[in-house]
Structures are given as C-alpha cells and as structure tokens.
C-alpha cells in the first residue's frame, strides 16, 4: 500500500511541483515571442474550460492522474474531457464517448485496464483511452467523492463520502465484477428508534438522539461524572453480537489530539433490574467510534452503557449506541406489488415502490446495470418507496427488493425498468 501511495504522490509531484521544464502543448516560439520557460508557476498552464453555467469562469477541480502504457493521464471535474502526455511537455486533449465526463470528482485507476468513476456514476472502462471509447461495467454503492485504490497485492478498494451527515466509508471490490467482497455476518441493527432511558439529560440532547442513526444529533448527560448512564430497550430478547459506541464529545474544550480516552462499562439485562457485565474499556487509546465484537452471542433485551471516565472536559454524550445481532423474530411476508416508474424524459431516474409488509423493520433495495450485477443497494426505513436512482441511460435496470426483519431475508421481487409490465413511465 505504501509503495502504491508513493507512486501516486510522485505522479502528483510531477504534475504540480516538477513541471518547471515543461512547455505545455508543445507550443513553438515564433520570432519576437518569449522563450519557453525553464521554471513554472501554478496554476498550471492548461486550457481550462469555462463553466457551462453562469457566472462565466474557468473550472477544473478534483484532479487525478495515473500512469498507463508509458503515458500520464490527467482527469479533472467539469473539463469536458481529459489530457494525456508521455513527457509532461506535450499534452493531448481527449473528448470521450460513453463516459459521464461532466460529473464531479472523477477518479481513475489501472486495474488490468483503465477504469473510471465519478460522483453519481458507476464503473466504466476502456482499453484505449486515447480513442476515448468507454463502456459501463458495473454500478457502485456510494458515490460522493469516490476514490479507487489498488494495493500492492492487487486487491481493489473503494472509498466514498463527502457529507455533513455521513462518514467516509470503504469496501473491498472484486477486481473483475466490482461487487463488494466479504460475506455479511447476517447481523441487523437492533437498536434503531428503540425506547431508551438515561441517568440525566442535557437540555436539547434527548435520549432518542442516540438511536436515530443521525450522526448530527446525540444524547448528552448533564455532566461527565462517573456513573452517568444510557440504556436501550430492544423491545424483546435478541441475540447480541456486536456493539458500536459513537461518542459525541459534548462540551469538549480540547484542541488538537485527545487528552485521554473514554472509559466505560457495558451491561445487559432481561428484566431491566438485574444487570450482567458484558465488557468494559478500562485502558487503551482514544476511540471515538469504539466497536466491540463479542466472542460469543449473548441473549438480552436491555443494554446499558455506564461512564467511568469522560476525557477532554466533555459531558458523557453519545451520538449513536448501536446494537447489532439477530432479532429472533418471525419471518415477514414476501414483498409484493413492486413497481418501477421511469421518469421522462430522463430515463436514468426512477421511483421504485412496493406494498408495505407488516412487522418489517426496513427494506433493502438492490439495483444495478443488469439483473446479474446488482452491486448497489440502499436500506429504506419507514416508507415503501425509494425515489432516486441514477443509471447510464442505456442500462436502466432496477431489481430485487428485499424485506428484512431481524436477520431473516424474504424472497426477492424484481422489476426491470422498461421491460416489466409492472413498470410504467410517467
């Protein structure tokens, strides 16, 4: 990994810091013209395109560069194409076809070929980027500021995230299909919007905030004193396999690195009166999003988190107390009435809806460019529709709605946009 990162850093250094000897686009000096420079000055002297929207301005952000067959290939947002050069002195501009080149934040990697992705797109490839002919090869889950990474062992990773509400995420991809690698343990989030209680509550930071899956909100105790606690009622006895605690640092006064680490105890109970120690953190480094996987599953209905020490002058506060495991519930009914309404005139977006299923906690909608390439999915709470999909216009496929309750997955129902009689445009 370090070797790969060094190589990319070297490429960027060549582009931005070691181009003093360059003569861009091989411009020849005519009599009376200034001599070609031996130094350089940022911004680089490329013919940046003007924005397609007012006000008039040149635009080129989010640059990425890769080495491909002894040439350097440079991509930037909103540039209408990309550049390549074998010597950093002569640059050729390519206007591609089949590529969503107008999407922000492009990223390119060499993975037995050249592959491209950007915000709101899937994966595209070409064997001849100089000719500019690209084709889609798969969809990707997560699209905000995407970044591909090929490690020194050949493994491919995909990182994404640029949001005020969501963290950066990363997954390993299959280098051929670009499907996510790794089998899910089959655990579900058991604590979402469940009833909760606490030792004390700071005004404006109620206990419900620790179970709403919104990183912007959180519960806070009135103090950071030892003994402050937060508990959740899972509603029934569940099989608990892992717990994540996202601390909120309410009222922290520290600047720079943390001056300590949270110390706490996690207990479980079946009657909310008799408690059993599950695990504790009494040593170790700072862990703002502490995660513990249990060696053996534990059956319990209640979970309690008790403060031993809160660092940095903060109050004991949690943005998310997340309990993972199996609900041990009855399998819900199969999803029915699936309809995909393709939007016109832009057929790349659609509204998928289905009949609500009693006692279903949430729905998982899987989608992709082909029925066998459903590599993207979204988990839907509290509604029986999902309004936004983005596809390449030639490959508008929407399929496989699943319902999950606890750990039980129902049979899949499929709807293919533009093909199924249940799919209608509007």
CATH of the domain at 213: 2.60.120.260
Rounded CA gap, 96 and 103, in Å?
A: 13
> Is there a single domain that holds both residue 37 and residue 162?
yes
Q: Looking at residue 407, which CATH number applies to its domain?
A: 2.60.40
Domain boundary among 263, 292, 326: 326
> Is there a single domain that holds both residue 45 and residue 110?
yes
140 part of a folded domain: yes
- The ranges of the chain with pLDDT < 70 are 1-45, 89, 141-143, 183, 343-348, 368-370, 373, 375, 388-426
Alpha carbon distance, N-terminus to C-terminus of the chain: 48
Which pLDDT does position 425 carry in this prediction? 30
> Is there a single domain that holds both residue 398 and residue 257?
no
178 part of a folded domain: no
Let me know: does 297 contact 240? Beta carbons within 8 Å: yes
Whole domain around residue 351: which residue ranges?
339-425
pTM for the predicted model, two decimal places: 0.61
> Is there a single domain that holds both residue 273 and residue 354?
no
Let me know: does 22 contact 89? Beta carbons within 8 Å: yes
**Left, alpha or beta for 360 (phi > 0: left; psi -120 to 50: alpha)?**
beta
Domain boundary among 300, 326, 352: 326
> Is there a single domain that holds both residue 163 and residue 255?
no
Which pLDDT does position 20 carry in this prediction? 33
181 part of a folded domain: no
Which pLDDT does position 24 carry in this prediction? 38
Which pLDDT does position 40 carry in this prediction? 53
> Which of helix, strand or coil describes residue 364?
strand
> Is there a single domain that holds both residue 254 and residue 298?
yes
């Amino acid at each position: 990994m370090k070797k790969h990162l060094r190589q990319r850093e070297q490429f960027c250094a060549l582009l931005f810091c070691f181009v003093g000897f360059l003569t861009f686009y091989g411009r020849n000096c005519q009599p009376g013209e200034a001599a070609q420079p031996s130094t350089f000055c940022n911004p680089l002297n490329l013919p940046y395109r003007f924005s397609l929207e007012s006000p008039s301005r040149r635009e080129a952000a989010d640059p990425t560069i890769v080495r491909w067959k002894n040439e350097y290939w440079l991509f930037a947002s909103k540039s209408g194409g990309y550049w390549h050069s074998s010597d950093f002195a002569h640059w050729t501009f390519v206007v591609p076809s089949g590529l969503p080149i107008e999407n922000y934040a492009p990223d390119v990697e060499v993975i037995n070929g050249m592959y491209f992705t950007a915000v709101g797109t899937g994966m595209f490839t070409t064997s001849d980027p100089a000719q500019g002919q690209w084709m889609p090869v798969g969809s990707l889950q997560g699209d905000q500021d995407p970044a591909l990474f090929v490690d020194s062992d050949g493994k491919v990773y995909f990182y994404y995230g640029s949001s005020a509400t969501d963290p950066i995420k990363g997954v390993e991809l299959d280098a051929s299909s670009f499907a996510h690698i790794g089998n899910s343990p089959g655990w579900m989030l058991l604590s979402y919007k469940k009833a909760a209680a606490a030792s004390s509550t700071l005004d404006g930071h109620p206990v419900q905030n620790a179970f709403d899956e919104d990183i912007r909100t959180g519960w806070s105790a009135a103090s950071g004193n030892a003994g402050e606690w937060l508990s959740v009622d899972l509603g029934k006895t569940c099989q608990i396999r892992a717990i994540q605690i996202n601390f909120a640092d309410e009222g922290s006064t520290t600047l720079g690195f943390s001056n300590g680490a949270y110390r706490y105890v996690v207990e479980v109970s079946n009657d909310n009166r008799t408690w059993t120690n599950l695990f504790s953190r009494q040593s170790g480094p700072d862990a703002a999003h502490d995660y513990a996987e249990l060696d053996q599953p534990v059956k319990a209905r209640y979970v309690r988190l008790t403060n031993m020490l809160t660092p940095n002058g903060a109050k004991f506060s949690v943005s998310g107390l997340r309990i993972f495991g199996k609900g041990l519930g009855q399998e819900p009914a199969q999803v029915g009435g699936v309809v995909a309404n393709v939007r016109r005139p832009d057929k790349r977006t659609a509204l998928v809806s289905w009949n609500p299923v009693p006692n279903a906690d949430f729905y998982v909608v899987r989608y992709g460019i082909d029925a066998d390439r459903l590599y993207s999915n979204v988990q839907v709470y509290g509604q029986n529709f999902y309004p936004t999909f983005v596809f390449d216009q030639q490959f508008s496929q929407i399929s496989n709605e699943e319902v999950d309750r606890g750990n039980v997955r129902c049979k899949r129902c499929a709807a293919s946009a533009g093909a199924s009689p249940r799919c209608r445009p509007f």
